[in-house]
Structure 1
Amino acid sequence: MKLPSFSQSATGLLLVSLLVLASSCKNSSAVDPTKGFSAKIQSIISQADIDALRAKGMVINEGTQPPNIEGIFASSPHRLVAPYGPQDTYAVGYDFADLVMRFSGQSSTDQTALVEIKNAGSTGSGQGGFLAGNGQKFTFFAEVNLVSGTATAKQVRIFTGEITADGIKDFYTTLLVKSKVDPNDELIPVGSARILKDGDGMASKRSSFRRSAEALAAAEEGRR
């Protein structure tokens, strides 16, 4: 039996080494499902804006494998974490009217969903949004058309937290005003953001897309 020459053995070892190296490089360049944002998210908010919001105290989760967030949730008390700036008339710790959210139409194919919101006299119709996250933690980014009194605005609304059986744990939300028509100067300035969270740490799961005051009023009307 003819044994392989030294040069043949060396060539074989070199080939195996190159294959191992190529495989290692391929694995090291694989996408990390816990990091980054989709191109669709980056199309509605810049990394500079994300960094600025994080610096103000907003929690923003990254990743490409978010959980299912469909359902109705209420942030109560809906508490201010960071005013939009020194001109803000509201201080840290101020409790705004409860925020009720309904997430629906989630697609795991392109990580999209819809959101509707109710907050005092304001209603928001979902323009559709995009999800980031991993495990049970998520962040939802949506462009929302807001109507509040005589004002209208286009905002980037961000909702973030951890989905549990009881609701959204460590719920935070913020809005970044992109444009507005605001004759009575009711809304915060264009380019500014205000960050809020659920004051007791859990945006509770609800069965009805109504604020508490609306539900009580409807019950009272039904008794008449």
Structure 2
Amino acid sequence: MKTIKLVLCLSILMMIGCKKDDESAQKEEIQEKKIQEIIPGNYLNVLKEMGMPIHEGINPPDITGIYHISPIMLLKTNITSAGEYEVGHRFADGRYSFSSLNKNDFTLKVASKQGPGNSESTIAAISGSGSHFTVYAMEISTSGTNSAIFAYLYSGILEGSSIKDFKMAFINVDNSNGGIQFIKEGEARITHDEDGISERVNSLDITAKTTKILEINPAAVTGLSQMQSSVR
């Protein structure tokens, strides 16, 4: 009798383990498809080779909130057009909003305000584990009759109500209708919050804090937005 009970218990445990494995595999498949919709694997590899951290996993932290990023500094670029910024260049401060996180299909909404520009992603997904995360977002930029598709990535470590080591990247993933109005397909830029801590705030409005920075050091902040004007 004890042997039969032991066999039954082992069988149940194996069934539970198999079910969990199946659920994990299904979630991984859902997540992979979402990410590939935003950034093809070859362009994700470009960012990895440039040093962009990619935190994988199907158990990302809940990063819902708005975060103030300052100072935003250029870490790496492979943009070849004349006039590209040098590493160490400082961009206008920004605020990034992550909302409507769905851990079942790994979707969320991403909005940002940097310098004079606002943006909102049409598609976004998340990966990660523990306190580490990476967000993948798609935006379509237009200039007259031309348009290009960009993938934007955000990686960091959730630490209390702030994000530690916040890094951002964008890459042109489809310039088939871009002409010469945008950076070339496959060209990218990586920036980071240089002080290492991105605090949670209540609003995307950065007017007050940006004005204060300009009064302290007008030469330190440019009028160009990293995610808007500078990609053209």
Question: Does the alignment pair 1:54 with 2:48?
Answer: yes
Partner of 2:164: 169
Q: What residue ranges of structure 1 are gaps of 5+ in the alignment? A: 1-15, 218-224
- 8 Å contact 2:39–2:173 — kept in the other structure? no
**C-alpha contact (below 8 Å) 1:67/1:135 kept by paired residues:** yes
Q: What are the Cα deviations for residues 157-193 of structure 1, in whole angstroms up to 9, with x where unaligned?
A: 11110112242111011111234677884x4333311
TM-score by length of 2: 0.70
The letter for the 1-side match of 2:109 is: L
Taking the aligned partners of 2:89 and 2:210, their CA distance within structure 1 comes to 24
Letter in 2 for 1:71: G
Corresponding residue of 2:79: 85
**What TM-score results when the alignment is normalised by the length of structure 1?**
0.73
CA distance in 1 between partners of 2:143 and 2:69 (Å): 19
**Offset at residue 200 of structure 1 (A):** 0.7
Number of corresponding residues:
195
**Counterparts of 2:125 and 2:193, CA distance in 1:** 22
Residues 216, 89 of structure 1: alpha-carbon distance in 2 compared, 3 angstrom cutoff:
closer
Picking from 110, 132, 140, the partner of 1:137 is 132
SS of the counterpart of 1:38?
Answer: helix
Structure-2 separation of matches of 1:164 and 1:212: 26
Q: Does 2:189 correspond to 1:194? A: yes
Instruction: Judge which range, 90-99 or 188-197, deviates more.
Output: 188-197
Partner of 2:155 in structure 1? 160
Amino acid at match of 2:41: Q
Give % identity.
30
> Which residue does the alignment assign to 1:114?
109
Specify which structure has the bigger relative contact order, considering alpha-carbon pairs within 8 angstroms and separated by 6 or more residues: 2
Query: Which protein is bigger by CA-based radius of gyration?
Result: 1
Q: Which runs of 5+ in 2 are unaligned?
A: 1-6, 213-232
- Residue 121 to residue 182, structure 1, CA distance change in 2 (3 Å): farther
Residues 39 and 64 of structure 1: CA distance in aligned 2, closer, same or farther (over 3 Å): same
Aligned counterparts of 2:167 and 2:140: Cα–Cα separation in 1: 20
Summarize the Cα distance change of 1:150–1:84 in structure 2 as closer, same or farther, 3 Å threshold.
Answer: farther
RMSD: 3.4
**Post-superposition offset of 1:64:** 0.5
